[in-house]
A and B are shown apart, each in its own frame.
Chain A
Amino acid sequence: MRRRLVTVLLAVVTAILVTPAVAVADTQGGETLNGQIRKPETVAGIDITVFQGDEEIGTATTDSEGRWEVALPGPGNYRVVLDEESVPDEFVVADQPGAEHADVNVRPGQQRTVIFVLAYADEASTEPSPSQSSDDADDGAGAAASDTEDGLAAPGVSSNASFGTKAIQLTVAGLLYGLIIAISAVGLSLIFGTTKLTNFAHGDMVTFGALMALLVSGMTLFAGLHTAVTNLLADVWLLGPVLGFVTRPMVLGTVVAVLLGAALGAFLERFIWRPLRKRNVALIQMFIVSIGLAMVLRHVLMVAFGSNRMSYPDFQLQAMLRLGPIAITPRDLVLMILSVLVLVGVAALLQFTRVGKAMRAVSDNRDLAESSGINVDRVTLYVWTLGGALTALGGVFYGLNQIVHWQMGFHLLLLMFAAVILGGLGTAYGAMVGGLIIGLVAQLSTLWFPSQLMNAWALGLMIIMLLVRPQGILGRRERVG
Chain B
Amino acid sequence: MDILQVLADATRSAIGPVAAVYALAAIGLNMHFGYTGLLNFGQVGFMLVGGYGVAVSVSTFGLPLGVGFLIGIASAVALALVLGLPTLRLRADYLAITTIAVAEVARLIYRAEFLRDITGGVYGLQSFSTAFYQWNPFPSGTYGFGWLSFSARDLWVMTVTWGLVLVGSAVMWLLIHSPWGRVIKGIREDEDAVRSLGKNVFVYKMQSLIIGGVFGALAGAMLVVNQQTITPDQFMPQVTFYLWAILLLGGAGRTLGPVLGSVVMWFLLSVTDSVLRQLIATDVITFIASSEIGGVRHALVGVALLVLIIFRPQGLIGNRKEMLINVK
Contact = CB atoms under 8 A, between A and B. Distances in A.
A115 interface: no
Given A282-B327, A283-B326, A296-B299, A289 B94 contact: no
Contacts of B96: 198, 287
Interface string A435-457: 00000000000000010110110
A480 interface: yes
B233 A452 contact: no
A481 B101 contact: no
Interface in B232-270: 233-239, 241, 244, 248, 270
A198 B98 CA distance: 13
Contacts of B212: none
A284 B39 CA distance: 8
B112 A292 contact: no
B97 A295 contact: no
A470 B98 CA distance: 12
A298 B226 CA distance: 30
B113 A17 contact: no
Interface in B294-324: 294-299, 301-306, 309-310, 313, 324
Contacts of B37: 284
Interface residues of B, number: 72
Contacts of B236: 13, 16-17
B310 A285 contact: yes
B326 A450 contact: no
Interface in A441-481: 450, 452-453, 455-456, 459-460, 462-464, 466-467, 470, 480-481
Contacts of A285: 309-310, 313
A246 interface: no
B17 interface: yes
A10 interface: yes
Contacts of A283: 93, 326-327
Given A284-B327, A288-B305, A452 B108 contact: yes
A418 B101 contact: yes
Interface in B1-15: 9, 12-13
Given A2-B150, A303-B296, A287 B94 contact: no
B17 A16 contact: no
A183 B109 CA distance: 28
* Majority SS at the chain A contact face: helix
A413 to B, nearest CB: 9
Contacts of A51: 122
A9 B297 CA distance: 11
B87 A466 contact: yes
Contacts of A298: 298-299, 302
Contacts of A198: 93, 96-97
A5 B101 contact: no
B113 A102 contact: yes
Nearest to A56: B122
A300 interface: yes
Contact of B12 (A2, A12, A295, A410): A2
A17 B301 CA distance: 19
Contact of A302 (B104, B295, B304): B295
Interface string B81-97: 00001110111111011
A439 B203 CA distance: 35
Interface of B: 9, 12-13, 16-18, 37, 39, 41, 85-87, 89-94, 96-98, 100-102, 104-105, 108-109, 111-114, 122, 150, 154, 226-227, 231, 233-239, 241, 244, 248, 270, 273, 288, 291-292, 294-299, 301-306, 309-310, 313, 324-327
Q: What 5 pairs across the A-B complex have the smallest Cβ distances?
A: A295-B302, A292-B305, A292-B306, A299-B299, A296-B302
Given A1-B13, A284-B39, A292-B305, 15 more contacts: A11-B294, A12-B298, A13-B234, A14-B234, A100-B113, A284-B92, A284-B325, A291-B302, A291-B305, A307-B295, A417-B101, A453-B109, A455-B105, A459-B104, A459-B105
12 contacts: A10-B227, A12-B297, A16-B233, A299-B298, A302-B295, A303-B296, A417-B97, A453-B112, A456-B104, A456-B109, A462-B97, A481-B89
